[in-house]
């Protein structure tokens, strides 16, 4: 007789444990959003504030040497970053649950790279998380190299202090639901520019450094291996992940509420047009990400891990 397991999935267990917190969080966020809109619209009614917005419309004109348009390599960068981020979030939640891993992997030290110290045994989720980190870092490094090699860096690196008041103005316009006029094919508004700069040059390095500190690649001896550094890494790593999720959510919402077809063409096909090709490419990328999320389960991960080491459990 076949016995069907009634054990709930990890997603169901997480929802049962966190649904009250999630409900409160969503409620508080909605209330805060309503308050922000009301306050912003009230401020927009003040003549001095309107004069400020008129003086600083939210966009700093780009330098004369700034390239026009979004290059094709940004399309696959968009996909790869979203792909790896989604799986990093999945494995991150698995690791944060602190449950016994469904399997363990030990590197085969008879192959390159060989080390004097015996390889550490890693849970299968940590093994997958570290590989995803490695691919995400390679993607990020290639992005930064291409960014500076093609001159695209001027689009996200502020070169004028006027970006600060313009970013405040753009935030006020967004909050008042009277969104700033911008053409991202030519230039990002100042708030977008600061957000992209923070993601690429602040949040990403923090995620990398804290992730390294929490990984098995970090030295087990010496001053850098102190409990204090691990404590700080744990305190920073999770909030950085939440920042990436918040940025991604806002980014997607703005894309779909400010001319989705044109924005998706710019992002995925490097064309400034409003046909459906960009949406089709985006939809296909979502299908690939969902498939990877569903397929990334212990049985498959163990088979892949076994090609480079010994798998137990």
Could you tell me the CATH number of the domain that includes residue 89? 1.20.950
Q: Quick one: pLDDT band at residue 275, thresholds 50, 70, 90?
A: very high
Interhelix angle 260-268/227-257, rounded to 10 degrees, is: 130
Q: What is the pLDDT of residues 79-118, one digit of tens each?
A: 999 999 999 989 988 887 778 889 999 988 887 777 777 7
Is 268 within a domain? yes
Is 71 within a domain? yes
| % of the chain with per-residue pLDDT over 90 | 60
Is 198 within a domain? yes
Are 144 and 137 in contact by the 8 Å Cβ rule? The answer is no
Q: State the average pLDDT for the chain.
A: 88
Number of structural domains in the chain: 1
Q: What is the pLDDT of residues 58-78, one digit of tens each?
A: 999 988 888 888 899 988 999
Are 230 and 210 in contact by the 8 Å Cβ rule? The answer is no
Is 30 within a domain? no
Q: What is the pLDDT of residues 148-207, one digit of tens each?
A: 999 999 999 999 999 999 999 999 999 998 888 778 899 999 999 999 999 999 999 999
User: What domain range includes position 179?
Assistant: 56-312
Query: Residue 45: CB partners within 8 Å, gap ≥ 6?
Result: none
Is 19 within a domain? no
């Amino acid at each position: 007789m076949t016995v069907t397991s009634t054990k709930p999935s990890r997603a169901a267990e997480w929802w049962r444990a966190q649904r009250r917190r999630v409900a409160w969080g969503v409620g508080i966020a909605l209330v805060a959003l309503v308050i922000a809109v009301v306050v912003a619209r009230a401020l927009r009614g003040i003549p001095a504030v309107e004069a400020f917005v008129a003086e600083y419309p939210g966009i700093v004109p780009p330098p004369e040497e700034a390239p026009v348009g979004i290059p094709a390599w940004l399309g696959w960068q968009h996909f790869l970053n979203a792909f790896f981020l989604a799986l990093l979030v999945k494995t991150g939640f698995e690791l944060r649950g602190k449950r016994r891993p469904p399997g363990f992997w030990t590197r085969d030290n008879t192959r390159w790279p060989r080390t004097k110290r015996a390889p550490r045994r890693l849970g299968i989720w940590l093994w997958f998380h570290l590989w995803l980190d490695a691919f995400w870092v390679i993607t990020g490094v290639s992005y930064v190299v291409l960014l500076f090699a093609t001159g695209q860096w001027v689009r996200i690196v502020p070169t004028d202090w006027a970006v600060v008041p313009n970013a405040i103005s753009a935030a006020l316009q967004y909050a008042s639901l009277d969104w700033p006029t911008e053409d991202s094919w030519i230039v990002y508004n100042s708030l977008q520019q600061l957000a992209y700069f923070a993601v690429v040059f602040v949040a990403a390095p923090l995620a990398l450094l804290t992730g390294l500190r929490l990984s098995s690649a970090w030295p087990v001896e010496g001053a850098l291996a102190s409990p204090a550094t691990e404590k700080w890494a744990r305190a920073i790593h999770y909030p950085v992940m939440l920042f990436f999720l918040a940025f991604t959510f806002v980014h997607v919402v703005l894309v779909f509420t400010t001319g989705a077809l044109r924005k998706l063409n710019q992002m995925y096909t490097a064309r400034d047009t409003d046909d459906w090709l960009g949406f089709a490419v985006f939809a296909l990328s979502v299908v690939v990400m969902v498939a990877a999320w569903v397929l990334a389960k212990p049985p498959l991960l163990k088979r892949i891990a076994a090609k480079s080491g010994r798998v137990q459990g």
